Structure 1
Amino acid sequence: MRIVFAGTPEVALPSLEALLDSDHEVVAVLTRPDAPSGRGKKLTPSPVAARAAELGIETLKPVRPREPEFLDRLAAIAPDCCPVVAYGALLPQNLLDLVPHGFINLHFSLLPAWRGAAPVQHAVLAGDGVTGATTFRIVAALDAGPVFDTVTEPIGPTDTSGDLLQRLSITGAALLVSTLDGIADGSLTPTEQPDDGVTLAPKISVDDARLDWTRPAAELDRAVRGCTPAPGAWTTFRGERLKIGSATPVPEHPGSPGELTVTKRSVTVAAGEGTGLELGQVQAQGKKPMPAADWARGLTFTTTDVLGS
């Protein structure tokens, strides 16, 4: 099939590469416009746009995918199908109607669970034991289209969202190629999603990533892992933000929520229900990430010092 690949961030690259190595012909790439990046806020192409430029593939970067000029160009290219991986914008119905086999999305959850922008993060936050990836035809409703196929992926006890997404980007790429193969030869037909089992996964904001020390350590551990690498879990210490990059739950630990126990080798924070969280890597405001014990070594603590204040 002639395809136009739609994707933007680095997580979409394995799928692009897999499609380039497949029997399908990638005739163009659709991605988000160049965006300011770095300290100088220089306009920078997306990872998918950069890779397409290296390969000499035509790249479409509409500000909004309903622009007449873009719609006319896509109609002229006349793809049979448009696979989508983390493109980052809603696709209007008149665009969906342009392509014979539609826009086929690779979504990083087992739909109908975790529809939305942050499915991997929410799976970790919820303590799910298994997640996966799903290919489905995009419709107007959010992640509600009929499903072609799925692949599962266990969530390990120390997995961060970044770890999980990296693995899913690889297994999902193979799933996307096999889905397009099945569409091309007519062996694969989609199945409507059930009405039950729907959960939502909205984008996680910086405010959402603030740790609440009244929660038990197991939940705080999932919060740290679910928000890593972005937006990054955090708390406050002496009125300044302290990022928590990694941590280990302690099943039994005395103290009031946020109270610190500091030794030469460890920093443990009292959490809810008589539990604690031993901090791994932390990053104080204006500093580089470092082991929590190194951070604590440069401070003089008082009995009134707590996290979250």
Structure 2
Amino acid sequence: MRLVVAGSPSAAVPTLASLAESEHGIVRVITRPASPQGRKRVLTPTPVSDEAERRGLAVLEARRLSEIENELLPLDVDLGVIVAYGALVREPLLSWPRLGWINLHFSLLPRWRGAAPVQHAVIAGDAQTGATVFQLTEGLDEGDWYARLTTPIGAHRTAGSLLDELSVSGAALVCDVVDQLASGTAVARPQEGAVTLAPKLSRDDAALHWSESAETVHSRMRGVTPEPGAFTHADGQVIKVLDAVIARDAAPLPPGHLRRDGSRLLVGTATLPLELVRVQPAGKQAMAALDWARGLPADQFPVFA
């Protein structure tokens, strides 16, 4: 089939690569425009743009598909494939490909419809997450689904590591569905179950609240890692919490209070303490939490808030 593929972040690259190596042809790759990245704000193409150009595929950049509607509609396309493009598909482009569009979404729909499904699944303490390939409709992630896979979240996985895994396994899922659509054997099923929403995370979503349980704090930390990145405050300074584990063998501590415990640095929550593993103080490089503590005045640890 003749395909158009839309996507922007690194999570969409495995799908683009897999489809480029399949028997199908990619007519166009659509991605978001280059944007300033890093402290020096260097104008940087999206990972999908880099991959497409490396493979010699024709690329169109647009913040919204409507911006390039006149370039797309004349093309003869059988199917659109979209993975984390970053904008909605509206008519007339929604029904432009002969078979419409399929979307790879990183959740077990209808749970966690929206922009940050893996992050919200981890924050909520879900036991599992997954990926779903579904038919794109005008509603937010509402279409009938063709295929899905599940994976356990576990007690230590971050949203970033889960997304890396799902982007690869999800790419294989997309290719299977594309092949089934090409052969006319694909079967779509309606979504069933309670709908939950997963809006894009803000910086406020990454703030850790030590008055909550250890499990709740730990789940939030993992759910916002690597982006937007968990943080707390100490003496008015921002401290990024890059890694921590629940210290199940440690005595309780008041919420936000720090204590050295042998080779560990503990911080209190409403239940068990967390062992801080890696932190990044404001204006400094990431470091082992214990190394950061050694640089503080003896027995004068700040209180996290």
TM-score (norm 1): 0.95
Q: What is the deviation of 1:151? A: 1.0
Please give the secondary structure, in 2, of the residue aligned with 1:66: helix
Question: Could you report, residue by residue, the CA deviation over 1:239-266 in whole angstroms, capped at 9, with x for unpaired residues?
Answer: 0000001111123532321111124522
Query: 39-48 or 8-17: which moved more?
Result: 39-48
Question: In 2, distance between residues paired with 1:236 and 1:30?
Answer: 41
Instruction: State the partner residue of 1:165.
Output: 163
Pairing 1:15-30 to 2, within 5 Å after superposition: 15-30=15-30
Structure 1: unaligned runs, 5 residues or longer: none
Q: 1:124 to 1:64 in 2, by over 3 A?
A: same
Question: In 1, distance between residues paired with 2:183 and 2:301?
Answer: 68
- Equivalent AA in structure 1 for residue 3 of structure 2: I
Instruction: State the partner residue of 1:298.
Output: 295
Pairing 1:198-217 to 2, within 5 Å after superposition: 198-217=195-214
Query: 254-263 or 168-177: which moved more?
Result: 254-263
Q: 2:228 aligns with which of 227, 231, 238?
A: 231
Question: In 2, distance between residues paired with 1:132 and 1:263?
Answer: 38
Contact 1:264-1:297 at 8 Å conserved across structures: no
Instruction: State the partner residue of 1:37.
Output: 37
Structure 2: unaligned runs, 5 residues or longer: none
Q: What is the deviation of 1:78? A: 1.7
Instruction: State the partner residue of 1:47.
Output: 47
The answer to whether 1:280 aligns with 2:277 is yes
Question: In 2, distance between residues paired with 1:24 and 1:283?
Answer: 46
Query: 245-254 or 289-298: which moved more?
Result: 245-254
The answer to whether 1:9 aligns with 2:9 is yes
Pairing 1:1-309 to 2, within 5 Å after superposition: 1-67=1-67, 70-194=68-192, 196-251=193-248, 253-263=251-261, 265-273=263-271, 275-302=272-299, 305-308=302-305
Q: What is the deviation of 1:302? A: 5.0
Question: Could you report, residue by residue, the CA deviation over 1:14-45 in whole angstroms, capped at 9, with x for unpaired residues?
Answer: 11111011111112101011111233323221
Q: 1:214 to 1:23 in 2, by over 3 A?
A: same
- Equivalent AA in structure 2 for residue 209 of structure 1: A
Quote the sequence identity (%).
Answer: 44
Contact 2:73-2:93 at 8 Å conserved across structures: no
Moved over 3 A (4+): 301-304
Q: What is the deviation of 1:141? A: 1.0
Contact 2:144-2:191 at 8 Å conserved across structures: yes
Contact 1:253-1:270 at 8 Å conserved across structures: no
- Equivalent AA in structure 1 for residue 18 of structure 2: A
Query: 199-208 or 254-263: which moved more?
Result: 254-263
Question: Aligned residues, how many?
Answer: 304
Question: In 2, distance between residues paired with 1:137 and 1:145?
Answer: 5
